Amino acid sequence: MHFEILIEDQSGGKAMEILLPKLLGAEVTFRIIPYKGIGHIPKGLRPGADASKQKLLNQLPLLLQAYGKAQDGRIVVVICDLDNRETETFLSELQNVLDKCDPKPKAFFFLAIEEFEAWYLGDLNAIRQAYPHARNSILNSYANDSICGTWELLADAVYKGGHKALLKKGGQAIGEQKKLWAETISPCMNVDANRSPSFNDMYAQLQAIRQ
């Protein structure tokens, strides 16, 4: 069984590279394909000619069509941040892209609510192990899968000066910090003890797919 993991950024890709053997077992093979942002589902489901933009949703219709035509048994997993979207509406839009494929690939969509950092915050012990001096008052204030500015909250808990210091440094610094979180927190995570509902939904569905 082989999984193709399409994810919107490098940091999420790095985290899933570490987490997938825990989620699926060592005998399952996978390839992770990170993109440069989430982008938007194109109007008419027709991706633009500029593939160099490498935005996940912009390329999704073309990608799913190609997987469907291949008919080679690969399982496609698309992982996106929900951000400020409405869950059921977004999932319906993603499903519509899949339904337009003929033939369809075997594809599944998972949303991190609100952002990928929610899955780290579902395992506070992992964060504390990776960052022993994390601010517990901030970590303990978090409600799982709440829409609260998730990466900012994590930054406030573990980064000197919090998210405001990162914002002053710019987007590249934020991206580098998110990658560091992937490299330091993901190895400490216990996938069987995560308290994020969206993480547990992904885990349960991946386990069901393997059956």
- Please tell me the distance from the alpha carbon of residue 36 to that of residue 62, in angstroms, as a whole number: 16
Backbone φ and ψ of 123, nearest 5°: -130, 80
Using an 8 Å Cβ cutoff, are 113 and 122 in contact?
A: no
| pLDDT reading at 130 higher than 80 | yes
Q: How confident is the model at residue 45 (pLDDT cuts 50, 70, 90)?
A: low
Residue-level pLDDT at 42: 87
What is the spatial distance between Cα 178 and Cα 185, in angstroms, rounded to a whole number? 10
Please tell me which residue, 51 or 194, carries the higher pLDDT value.
194
Please say if the pLDDT value at position 49 is more than 80.
Answer: no
Handedness of CA 8, 80, 110, 189 (dihedral sign): positive
Q: Which domains are present in the chain? A: 2-116+195-210 (3.40.50), 117-188 (no CATH)
Separation in Å, CA 193 to CA 120, 155, 197:
11, 22, 11
Under 8 Å between Cβ of 171 and 98: no
For every residue of 157-184, DSSP letters joined together read: HHSTTHHHHHHHH-HHHHHHHHHHHHHH
CB-side exposure of 18: number of CA atoms within 13 Å?
19
